[in-house]
Amino acid sequence: MSPADKPIPRKLPGSLEGNRTLDRWLRINRDGTVTIFPGKVEIGQGILTALVQIVAEELDVAIERIRIAPADTSYSPDEGMTSGSRSIQEGGMALRYAAAEARDLLLARAAAKLGVSLEQFVISDGEITARSGGRTTYWELSSEQLLQREATAEVAPKPAAQHVFVGTSVPRRDIPAKVTGVPSYVHDMELPGMLHGRVARPPSRRAQLAALDEAEVRALPGVTALVRDGNFLGVIAEREEQAIRAQRRLARSARWDETATLPDSTDPRYLLGMKSEDEVISEKSAAAAMARAAQTLEAEYTRPLIAHASIGPSCAVATFEDGRYTVWTHSQGIFPLRGDLAKVLGVAEGNIVVIHVEGAGCYGHNGADDAALDAALLARAVPGRPVRLQWMREDEFEWEPYGSAMVIRLSAALDATGHIVSWTHDLWSHGHSTRPGPKDGANLLAAWHLAQPVKAPRPGNPGLPGGGSHRNAIPLYDFPSQRVTNHLVREAPLRTSALRSLGAHANVFAIESFMDELAHAAGADPVEFRLQHLKDARARAVIEAVARKAGWRSRERGDGMRGRGIGFARYKNLGCYVAVIVEIEAENEVRVKHAFAAVDAGQVINPDGIINQIEGGIIQTVSWTLKEQMNFDRERVLTRTWEDYPILTFAEAPVVEVVLLNRPAEPALGAGEGAQGPTGAAIANAVHNALGARMRDMPLTRDRLIAALAR
């Protein structure tokens, strides 16, 4: 048979498509346990618990029997990045179909062993009993060869009506250790003979090392090695405090030549003066509708550069021995990271093993991957000894990739009946994805500082429909005429990449704020106005549900200090539907006191898990919207400590109530990034409801509130 005549392999569900053998996903053990091998990783979102529920459901075994193997490039399926709220759709679907097929294979063996038909069987916690007599178990039937075959996806998973575990709030597996202080993070790792490392970064982006007193640093107590490679400076010591002391001395003794390369202002409108690549991403026109235009509104909204601000600075542990590297990291993509490490270290990918260990939590591309390369570069200087490398707080703030600044200009026309007849959306932003894994170059910080650097790839965006800067820029509302244009500014004075929800936070903030402005101009209630422009029944349902939950009253008004506002979006226009209503108080500053959310994420695996995600997303977005902004001058990033970058405190966190609209017959939709845009807009709309002042520039600080009231 010629290659052209070979049958095209059947497309398999989720991540099974790229990892097609069953034993890549799970193993039935003779000791009465099941081991699963997810390629998606736990970063605080509770995904591993949900995956356990899915497998327990399809195999008919107790949840307690299931073990989870850490993600490891030497044996795990390659699922790329844990990002974009895709873990259930990709890894969850792969495990669901793999487990269903494994169960079918076990039952076929049981039928052959007991000499009965499949219809005779009752399965309970891995025990197979024939109604006519005879019994066996998965553990007796299993063998190493059983799952060494390509998946077919021809065995249908259980229908929702038969679910026992899926749809229930199973306690999260990762929480007990975290709340009781059991060492569980990569930061907590201790290996025999482990050394400690720190890196002394340049003081600014284009700085060049001019001089360094190496002898002074090498003479410090405990210092094992000093690594100098171009503009990369690192130190290794026997104890962590010795490494920190040496790093401080290294930073003081280095002399750098600096260049002023940053914008004159932190105002995001610096983007408007930079070269952009312009693309119309949505366009339709209806001349008859346009002819009915009675009034036109315009508005401009902005978001500044925002940090991930991980509570625990990035960390990694690495060893180098016999030409091979092992790296422990809290990266969200161990396989793409391995590829970039191989480019920088000059070895084959097969000579690098990357193992995921949980970090202190981060949604988006922070410094975890960069710390992994730092650790490997230092480990190379001390073969045979592990090196634990942790960033300092100032490293995290000054050198992580940020969420891009954005500027969004909207215009719309209303007809005499108060309906929107045209809509225009222009957005300016840097790229929202510079993660590891590009074809050319390496997206790792230290790679660009070496004497023989590996170039930084050209920054860009994930493509639509998910999108990057243009994520959620195309409104879900039904407008007869609309034009949406993405002005992508590839050259970024500071490094930008994925921050939770990417461009959706700012785009939905703008769209939903503008919908309120249009509703006000039309003399309409904001909830009713949205429903007038929506045909999607599921979208309408979440808006109606959150309005009921919050006790929304048509055309309700604030009292001069307190007010309420609403925001809505469907994440990526293909993920979960979320509507949020917030209650604010605005006296000296804006405070969010209460938030209500309604969520439709399709089939719900773990209700409490989704509620956790929405609660966390709302609280994080309150912090972004009210407080957070990176600051810089012409040469340097000025944000270095928590004093420079205040975030929401426990006392300031709102009460959050979440309503789930479970749809067991529908595909599961990602929920981790659905609340960001709606929450930001709901806050701004609540401020207007309370005070009559419209705030369009994030963060909504006290000074901006005073200025808005003065206008």
Q: What is the pLDDT of residue 40?
A: 96
Which tokens hold the place of 603?
């089939």
Task: Check residue 539 and give its pLDDT.
Answer: 98
Peptide bond into 646 cis (omega under 30): no
Residues 229, 353, single domain; the answer is: yes
**In 3-state terms, what secondary structure has residue 279?**
strand
Local structure of residue 193 (DSSP, 8 states): T
Query: Which range of residues forms the domain containing residue 158?
Result: 10-165
For residue 651, the one-letter residue type is A
Residue 483 lies in a domain: yes
**Could you please report the per-residue DSSP string of 164-217?**
SSTTS-PPPSSHHHHHHT---SGGG---TT-EEEEEE--SSTT-EEEE--HHHH
pLDDT at 6 over 70: no
Across 649-657, average pLDDT: 97
pTM given for the model: 0.95
Higher pLDDT, residue 386 or 120: 386
| Angle (CA) 238 244 249, round 5° | 110
For 356, the token pair is 């995921």
62 located within any domain: yes
Sign of CA dihedral 601, 606, 607, 613: negative
Residues 143 and 235 in one domain: no
Are residues 78 and 116 both part of a single domain? yes
Q: What are phi and psi of 204, to 5 degrees?
A: -155, 170
pLDDT(2) > 70 = no
What's at 634, amino acid-wise? Answer: R
Integer Rg of the chain from CA: 27
Residue 4 is predicted with a pLDDT of 58
Is residue 163 predicted with pLDDT exceeding 80? yes
Give the list of residues 6+ apart from residue 703 with CB closer than 8 angstroms, or none. none
Per-residue confidence (pLDDT) for residue 362, from 0 to 100: 84
Tokens read off for 289: 């509708």
* Domain end marker among 112, 130, 165: 165
Maximum CA extent, the chain: 85
Mean pLDDT of 511-526: 98
Which candidate, 323, 332, 305, places its Cα nearest to that of 437?
A: 332
Which residues does 134 contact at the CB level (< 8 Å), separation at least 6? 114, 115, 116
Does residue 540 have a pLDDT over 80? Answer: yes
Is there a domain that residue 462 lies in?
no
Contact (Cβ atoms closer than 8 angstroms) between residue 344 and residue 398: no
Residues 157 and 283 in one domain: no
pLDDT in tens, 383-401: 999 999 999 999 999 999 9
Helix axes 93-114, 47-59, angle to 10 degrees: 30
**Closest alpha carbon to 299 in 429, 405, 404, 407:** 407
Interval 601-643: pLDDT, tens:
999 999 999 999 999 999 999 999 999 999 999 999 999 999 9
* CA distances from residue 707 to 260, 517, 695, 700, 702 in whole angstroms, order as listed: 31, 19, 9, 11, 9
Determine the 3-state secondary structure of 325 from DSSP: strand
In a domain, 456, yes or no: no
Q: Are residues 144 and 203 in the same domain?
A: no
Residue 360 falls within a domain, yes or no? yes
Return the DSSP state at 453.
P
pLDDT above 60: residue 1? no
Q: Give the count of domains, the chain.
A: 3
Alpha-carbon torsion 476, 477, 478, 482, what sign? negative
End-to-end CA distance of the chain: 77
**What's the order of all strands across the beta sheet hosting 26-28?**
26-28, 34-36, 66-68
The 8-class DSSP code of residue 91 comes to I
Q: What is the mean pLDDT of residues 562-569?
A: 98
Torsion of CA 581, 582, 583, 585, to 10 degrees: -150
pLDDT confidence bin for 460, thresholds 50/70/90: confident
Six-digit token string for 277: 């690549």
Q: Is residue 460 part of a domain?
A: no
| Closest-CA residue to 646 (of 335, 307, 390, 365) | 307
One domain for residues 285 and 427:
yes
Same domain (yes/no): 624, 492: yes
- pLDDT at residue 5, rounded to an integer: 61
pLDDT at 159 over 60: yes
Instruction: Give the mean pLDDT of 514-520.
Output: 98
Domain boundary among 355, 378, 399: 399
CATH number (domain holding residue 60): 3.30.365.10
List C-alpha distances in Å: 322 to 296, 326, 347, 352, 522.
69, 11, 12, 11, 72
What would the mean pLDDT of 296-318 be, rounded to a whole number? Answer: 97
Domain end: 352, 374, 399, which one? Answer: 399
**Is 395 in the same domain as 415?**
no
Q: What are the angstrom distances between the C-alpha of 105 and each of 99, 136, 508?
A: 10, 14, 47
User: For all residues of the chain together, what is the average pLDDT?
Assistant: 95
Q: How confident is the model at residue 657 (pLDDT cuts 50, 70, 90)?
A: very high
pLDDT over 60 (residue 3): no
The count of other CB atoms within 10 Å of the CB of residue 14 is 22
Q: Percent of the chain scored above 70 by pLDDT?
A: 99
Q: Are residues 629 and 550 in the same domain?
A: yes
Question: Is residue 446's pLDDT more than 90?
Answer: yes
- Are both 223 and 347 inside the same structural domain? yes
Average pLDDT (558-587) is 96
Given pLDDT bands bounded at 50, 70 and 90, which one contains residue 300?
very high
| Residue 523: how many other CB atoms lie within 10 Å | 9
| 48 plus 156 within the same structural domain | yes
Q: Is residue 43 part of a domain?
A: yes
In this predicted structure, what is the pLDDT of residue 394?
96
Kindly state whether residues 252 and 194 are assigned to the same domain.
Answer: yes
CB 95 within 8 Å of CB 43:
no
Q: What is the pLDDT of residues 188-228, one digit of tens each?
A: 999 999 999 999 999 999 999 999 999 999 999 999 999 99
Dihedral sign for Cα 678, 683, 689, 693, please: negative
Q: Identify whether 5 is part of a domain.
A: no
Q: What is the pLDDT of residues 133-143, one digit of tens each?
A: 899 999 999 99
User: Does the pLDDT at position 182 exceed 60?
Assistant: yes
Residue 387 has a pLDDT of 98
Dihedral (CA of 399, 460, 601, 66) sign: negative
